[in-house]
Amino acid sequence: MAMFLYRLGRFSFRHKWWAIVSWLLMAVLVVTLVNTLNPKFSKDFELPGTDSDKAMSLMKENFSAINEEQTEASTSVLVAADDGLEAHTDTINGLVAELKTLPDLTAPATIVNPVTAANEIIAETNNPNAASSILSADGTVGLIQVKQNIKVEDLTAEDTKQFEDILAEFRVGGLQVEGTGSLMQVFEQGGAAEMLGFLVAFIVMIVAFGAIVAAFIPIITGILGVVITIMLVTLGAGVFSINESATGIITMLGIAVSIDYALFIVSRYRSELNLGGTREAAVGRAVGTAGSAVVFAGLTVMIAVAALSVVGIPFISQMGLAAALAVLIAVLGAITLIPALLGAFGRFAFSPRIPKVRHGDEPESQATNGLRFAKFVTKYPWPVAAISLLALIVVALPMTKLELGLSTTTDAEAPATALLQRGFGEGINGPLLVVLNDTDGGDVAPAAEQTIEHIKTLPNVANPDQMTWIGNGPNQSADPATGQTGATSALIFVTPQHSPSGPQTHDLMEQIRDYSSTPEAEGVTLNVGGQTAIMSDISAKLSSALIPYLILVVGLAFIILMIVFRSVLVPLTATIGFLFSVCATFGATVAIFQLGHLGLITHTQPIISFLPIFMIGVVFGLAMDYQVFLVTRMREEYVHGLPAKEAVIIGYKHGARVVASAAIIMIAVFAAFMLAPDTSSKMMGFALAAAVFFDAFIVRMVIVPAVITIMGERAWWIPAWLDKILPNVDMEGTAIREIPIDTSVSADGKPLEPAVSGNG
């Protein structure tokens, strides 16, 4: 492996313009193909094998019009006044008139003043409760439904702004006007997080390299790699059914690992320059040694994210595979494009030099902060390890109160949902969709009537007396309400009293599903769909897949790490350390977002149910990156003759700066997502940033060197039989070290000028 990469690095350096042009042509080719073929991403959302997926499939088949309506924008406007809405009739009428100016309204005539509409309904029915779905019993809260003939995913930030401006205009005279639903759940794709991540990355790399030009190299490879990956995935959408959400992780992870890998190889190249010889040889040595670590680190990340496929949720599987492709492109760029760019910049790669910043060409004898800290850790390994582990345990304690859930409600909708709960029950915007289907094509009416009577007896059902069912009979197209005659399938809308994401609504859904055995005895299937059912099924799939996922990822990664380190205890230490950092991350996230500690979050909520498995996949791969980057140099020094303790110190000195720089960049990229307006994005950004902080700065840079020091020679022990079985990939670059460093001539045969990093 090392010799192959050594030759590849030198080849790319020697044929630098061919390599650079090849990468650029690849980018131009895939962009051109995408623009020419114009492939489209799938809009379908599937949960194969789940009860909600069966329900939604039956709805699509038997109630196509209603199913289509479920995919279109629907927004609720809540108006409230403590002195009664009657006193604000003119203002509400003005609000209604402005709401009718929104684009592509399905039925403008249904957008009416809830007080006026309620009075008309009560007068017609002579029933004071007949209008309870649009006006609260005390007349202080009203509901206006706005439906648009626009797909939810096609709504734009401009649509949301127009809607919010209308609401703000009529918040006068004590009238509260709030919105919830489709128009309040649109997020602007501004790329602010990515831009902030790039800015921080550039600054960190200037400090890491002490030069401007070298800091651009990782940015170039990162952008080019991400563009190629996104275009390849887009082309794939023309052949396979791929959801657009698959591209979301590419930018975040692709840029991060590209920068990580470039940092490692360029830093090693700078170190190799100090040994003398040609720049070409220095690139070869850097790619042969650091490149080996990059290949295996990338392989570990690819396994971690691709293994998300075990969850069995298509869009998560697609995200994982897309992320794995992004990492593969990043690895290929690191071992081919980076050497070519170093060759293109030549002696200007590490210029202009930034004054008063360490440049990497200092003599080995010069003390650095990394060297000082390594000596401290190796001098007091027991107390350092114990204190660090104790700190992680303390931070992890709130994890015992972890609650998982999924909510589509944004922070901006919180005032409206409070009014819904006060006037009508939060569940009005998230009904359960109960679908019954006679498998023999018989009359479904008896089963539908029995099911309704049963649901009426359950707790947490809003307005049970008004519940009815819709059939797919011949008259459905003319009037869905009269499609009961000759129906073989029935649809029941069950409105819960509580929030769609609340535990009470989840319990109601499970109670309805538990009843399915009764109609099944008569040949009628019962399935429950809708927002709550879909979210519940996603959570269930994620929970059931977590343990198999951990076993698969940790098992495969453990084997790879044994191959890399020729050790059993070092991979074991790496894996156990990761578990500590994950627990600490969950503890911190629960404390802030679920329990509301430190007052950073206004609207607390359960931890997003897909956060654990997603975070484990992404962060485990990155954690093993840092483990490989830091510890391979320790292993290299130990194999080449240094005592175990000294190997830790020297390896730490050479690797700490790169790992710290890479971790800071990752933290900045993830933390930038905390600038998003919704709590869910804040939570994701915080959890990922915290995980990288705990794992990189506490586990990898403190606990791991301390534990390896404690283990001493035993750290590198491996049974003889296992050593024979595992392939020898020469991570230490032994074959490369045997190649003499020619300090007399350059790559073109001319007398060699000193190839120190001061002049490149």
Work out whether strand 72-80 and strand 176-181 pair parallel, antiparallel, or are unpaired: antiparallel
Average pLDDT over residues 563-579: 90
Average pLDDT over residues 12-23: 95
Check residue 476 and give its pLDDT: 62
Q: Is the peptide bond before 352 cis (omega within 30 degrees of 0)?
A: yes
Q: Which CATH architecture has domain 367-412+541-726?
A: Up-down Bundle (1.20)
Higher pLDDT, 620 or 115: 115
Band of residue 177 on the pLDDT scale cut at 50, 70, 90 = very high
Average pLDDT over residues 584-613: 88
Amino acid sitting at position 447: A
Mean pLDDT of the chain: 86
Higher pLDDT, 654 or 95: 95
Contact 612, 682 (CB under 8 A): no
- Using left for φ > 0, alpha for ψ between -120 and 50, and beta otherwise, residue 599 falls in left
Amino acid sitting at position 431: P
- Select, from the ranges 446-450, 538-542, 630-634, the one with the highest average predicted confidence (pLDDT): 446-450
Please check the confidence at residue 452 and state whether its pLDDT lies above 80: yes
Average pLDDT over residues 134-147: 92
Least confident of 27-31, 107-111, 194-198, 375-379: 194-198
Check residue 747 and give its pLDDT: 39
Higher pLDDT, 575 or 751: 575
| Same fold: 1-38+189-366 with 367-412+541-726 | yes
Contact 685, 672 (CB under 8 A): yes
Check residue 475 and give its pLDDT: 65
Band of residue 676 on the pLDDT scale cut at 50, 70, 90 = confident
Please check the confidence at residue 543 and state whether its pLDDT lies above 60: yes
H or E segment and range at residue 13: helix 2-14
Please check the confidence at residue 708 and state whether its pLDDT lies above 80: yes
For 384-440, write each residue's pLDDT tens digit: 999 999 999 999 999 999 887 776 677 788 899 889 888 887 777 778 999 999 988
Higher pLDDT, 339 or 246: 339
Per-domain boundaries in the chain: 1-38+189-366, 74-149+155-184, 367-412+541-726
Least confident of 448-457, 618-627, 744-753: 744-753
Average pLDDT over residues 738-747: 58
Amino acid sitting at position 297: A
Band of residue 641 on the pLDDT scale cut at 50, 70, 90 = confident
- Using left for φ > 0, alpha for ψ between -120 and 50, and beta otherwise, residue 74 falls in beta
Q: Using CA atoms of 561, 381, 656, 643 in order, give the dihedral in degrees to the nearest 10.
A: -70
Work out whether strand 404-405 and strand 607-608 pair parallel, antiparallel, or are unpaired: parallel
H or E segment and range at residue 72: strand 72-80
Check residue 645 and give its pLDDT: 92
Contact 603, 684 (CB under 8 A): no
For 718-737, write each residue's pLDDT tens digit: 999 998 998 887 666 667 77
Check residue 697 and give its pLDDT: 95
Q: What's the rounded Cα separation, in Å, for the pair 356 and 210?
A: 9
Check residue 745 and give its pLDDT: 43
Check residue 374 and give its pLDDT: 93
Cβ neighbours for 90, distance < 8 A, ≥ 6 positions apart: none
Higher pLDDT, 67 or 54: 54
Output the CA–CA distances (angstroms, integers) from residue 683 to 255, 537, 585, 600, in the order listed: 21, 21, 11, 11
Q: Phi and psi at residue 309, in whole multiples of 5°? A: -65, -20
Amino acid sitting at position 260: D
**What is the DSSP secondary-structure string of 671-739?**
HGGGGSSSHHHHHHHHHHHHHHHIIIIIIIIIIHHHHHHHHGGGGG---HHHHHHS----TT-HHHHTS
Cβ neighbours for 628, distance < 8 A, ≥ 6 positions apart: 293, 296, 297, 300, 561, 564
Check residue 79 and give its pLDDT: 96
Least confident of 331-340, 479-488, 587-596: 479-488
Check residue 734 and give its pLDDT: 67
Check residue 409 and give its pLDDT: 72
Please check the confidence at residue 6 and state whether its pLDDT lies above 80: yes
Higher pLDDT, 669 or 486: 486
Please check the confidence at residue 326 and state whether its pLDDT lies above 70: yes
Check residue 559 and give its pLDDT: 87
Please check the confidence at residue 526 and state whether its pLDDT lies above 70: yes
Please check the confidence at residue 339 and state whether its pLDDT lies above 90: yes
Output the CA–CA distances (angstroms, integers) from residue 690 to 218, 312, 416, in the order listed: 24, 27, 32
* Extended strands (E) in 152-219: 176-181
Average pLDDT over residues 147-174: 92
pLDDT above 70 as % of the chain: 91
**Residue 469, helix vs strand vs coil:** strand
Average pLDDT over residues 34-52: 83
Check residue 742 and give its pLDDT: 58
Please check the confidence at residue 743 and state whether its pLDDT lies above 80: no
Burial profile 656-679: b = 16 or more Cβ within 10 angstroms, e = fewer: bbbbbbbbbbbbbbbbbbeebebb
State which fold the 1-38+189-366 domain adopts: Multidrug efflux transporter AcrB transmembrane fold (1.20.1640)
Q: Is the dihedral of CA 331, 333, 335, 338 positive or negative?
A: negative
Band of residue 263 on the pLDDT scale cut at 50, 70, 90 = confident
Supply the pTM of this predicted model.
0.81
Q: Phi and psi at residue 603, in whole multiples of 5°? A: -115, 100
